[in-house]
């Protein structure tokens, strides 16, 4: 059981009162949770198959060939076809398909030459892209990849930036001067050129892009934390803690960091939005994740090249705007709720 201090409870209550930020957090959390289980909601494999009195769960089990279920081909079973086959047999067998019975890589040419417009009968709720893949499936899996990239990059980069920045601001002196020079030199390295060089000599992967963004992303937070720590370390409560014999670790952890949390909360949503747009831009330019990985940038590129199919560009732009606006609302609400000036007063 989590026990909150009265001050933390106050901050959370204030956050709940900022309705647009609170409900944006709820909705975005639901989206994230659903994306984690996207393989159950959006998949070409059946959730449940009842065949000759036995139950099978293809979405979580090994692939079975069509001949296993009485079809006349030995490749992986087409469960949409199997469902129609069972309905025609009327033998008590059935198939339960996901809400969207298409995966993010499967091509559908049954409606003609792609891209095809949204079709409720075929369960292509947002249509198909230029090679016949379901746009909704690629949007959802692209959202999961983008949010995973943004959150993972932010957490690692912030951990490094906060640690280095606090050390620079608290101890200062030669350590601060040397660290500043190192950061200034590192900041001169062109991010885009590094991406282009690495993509040209190695296969782009999710881990590679997280590592590159972390290498360049920790610098900004370091400067903010250095300034905030330098300012807070000169206040009376820090001097009093030193006089009482508190260790540097305790002073930083229990006194300085809580009072600089508002800065982290303020910058976090903008960092998440920046990471999402960075990955989308790289995919759009062809420097991102390898095809056929679901990507918002890839959909954006297809939409730009096929303006006669507005459902492509409209769907990805709508998804990006919705997510980025919600992230911004959450950031505004957190900044106001965690602002120390709302709960404490310096004398």
pLDDT score of 222: 93
Whether residue 292 has a cis bond before it, omega within 30° of 0: yes
Terminal Cα-to-Cα distance of the chain (whole angstroms): 36
- Average pLDDT in the chain: 88
Q: How confident is the model over 184-205, as a mean pLDDT?
A: 87
For residues 47 and 59, give the distance between their C-alpha atoms in angstroms, rounded to a whole number.
Answer: 5
pLDDT score of 301: 93
Asked if pLDDT for residue 49 goes beyond 80, the answer is yes
Buried b (16+ CB within 10 A) or exposed e, 216-235: bbbbbbbbbbbebbbebbee
Q: How confident is the model over 195-212, as a mean pLDDT?
A: 88
List for the chain the helix, strand, coil content (%; round to 5): 65, 5, 30
pLDDT score of 70: 84
pLDDT score of 297: 93
For residues 302 and 292, give the distance between their C-alpha atoms in angstroms, rounded to a whole number.
Answer: 13
pLDDT score of 195: 87
Asked if pLDDT for residue 1 goes beyond 70, the answer is no
pLDDT score of 340: 63
Buried b (16+ CB within 10 A) or exposed e, 39-51: beebbbbbbebeb
pLDDT score of 211: 92
Q: How confident is the model at residue 198 (pLDDT cuts 50, 70, 90)?
A: confident
For 257-279, how does the pLDDT look when each residue is reduced to its tens digit (9 = 90+)?
888 877 888 788 889 999 999 99
pLDDT score of 311: 92
Q: How confident is the model at residue 168 (pLDDT cuts 50, 70, 90)?
A: very high
CB atoms within 10 A of CB 31: 18
Asked if pLDDT for residue 41 goes beyond 60, the answer is yes
Q: How confident is the model over 24-29, as a mean pLDDT?
A: 94
pLDDT score of 14: 87
For residues 294 and 303, give the distance between their C-alpha atoms in angstroms, rounded to a whole number.
Answer: 14
Tell me the whole-structure pTM to 2 decimals. 0.88
Q: How confident is the model over 10-38, as a mean pLDDT?
A: 91
pLDDT score of 37: 92
pLDDT score of 346: 47
| Range with lowest mean pLDDT among 91-95, 188-192, 302-306, 338-342 | 338-342
What CA–CA distances, in Å, run from 319 to 140, 146, 288, 306?
9, 12, 19, 18
Q: How confident is the model at residue 347 (pLDDT cuts 50, 70, 90)?
A: very low
The answer to whether residues 109 and 119 touch, using CB atoms and an 8 Å cutoff, is no
**Strand bridging mode 54-56 / 48-51:** antiparallel
Q: What would the two tokens of residue 290 be?
A: 């390898």
Burial-class residue 79 by CB neighbours within 10 Å (0-12, 13-18, 19+).
buried
Q: How confident is the model over 165-184, as a mean pLDDT?
A: 91
Q: Which segments of 112-172 does DSSP mark as H helices, in order?
A: 135-171
pLDDT score of 165: 92
For 115-164, how does the pLDDT look when each residue is reduced to its tens digit (9 = 90+)?
999 988 888 999 999 999 999 999 999 999 999 999 999 999 999 999 99
More confident residue, 204 or 63: 204
Q: What is the four-CA torsion angle of 61, 64, 70, 75, rounded to 10 degrees?
A: 150
């Amino acid at each position: 059981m989590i026990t909150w201090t009265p001050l933390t409870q106050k901050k959370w209550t204030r956050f709940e009162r900022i309705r647009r930020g609170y409900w944006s957090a709820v909705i975005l959390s639901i989206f994230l949770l659903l994306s984690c289980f996207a393989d159950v909601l959006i998949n070409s494999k059946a959730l449940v198959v009842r065949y000759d009195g036995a139950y099978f769960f293809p979405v979580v089990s090994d692939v079975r060939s069509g001949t296993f279920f009485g079809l006349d081909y030995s490749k992986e079973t087409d469960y949409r076809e199997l469902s129609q086959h069972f309905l025609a047999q009327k033998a008590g067998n059935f198939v339960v398909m996901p809400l969207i019975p298409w995966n993010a890589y499967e091509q559908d040419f049954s409606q003609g030459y792609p891209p095809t417009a949204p079709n409720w009968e075929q369960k292509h709720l947002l249509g198909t892209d230029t090679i016949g893949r379901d746009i909704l499936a690629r949007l959802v899996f692209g959202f999961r990849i983008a949010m995973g990239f943004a959150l993972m990059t932010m957490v690692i980069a912030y951990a490094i930036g906060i640690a280095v920045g606090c050390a620079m601001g608290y101890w200062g002196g030669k350590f601060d001067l040397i660290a500043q020079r190192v950061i200034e030199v590192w900041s001169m390295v062109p991010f885009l050129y590094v991406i282009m060089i690495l993509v040209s000599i190695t296969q782009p992967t999710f881990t590679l892009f997280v590592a590159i963004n972390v290498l360049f992303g920790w610098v900004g937070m370091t400067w903010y934390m250095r300034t905030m720590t330098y300012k807070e370390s000169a206040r009376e409560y820090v001097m009093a803690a030193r006089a009482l014999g508190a260790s540097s670790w305790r002073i930083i952890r229990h006194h300085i960091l809580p009072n600089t949390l508002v800065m982290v909360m303020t910058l976090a949503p903008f960092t998440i939005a920046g990471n999402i747009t960075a990955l989308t831009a790289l995919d759009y330019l062809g420097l991102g994740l390898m095809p056929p990985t679901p990507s918002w940038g890839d959909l954006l590129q297809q939409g730009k090249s096929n303006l006669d199919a507005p459902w492509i560009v409209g769907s990805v732009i709508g998804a990006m705007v919705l997510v980025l606006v919600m992230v911004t609302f959450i950031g505004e609400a957190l900044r106001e709720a965690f602002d120390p000036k709302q709960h404490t007063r310096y004398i």
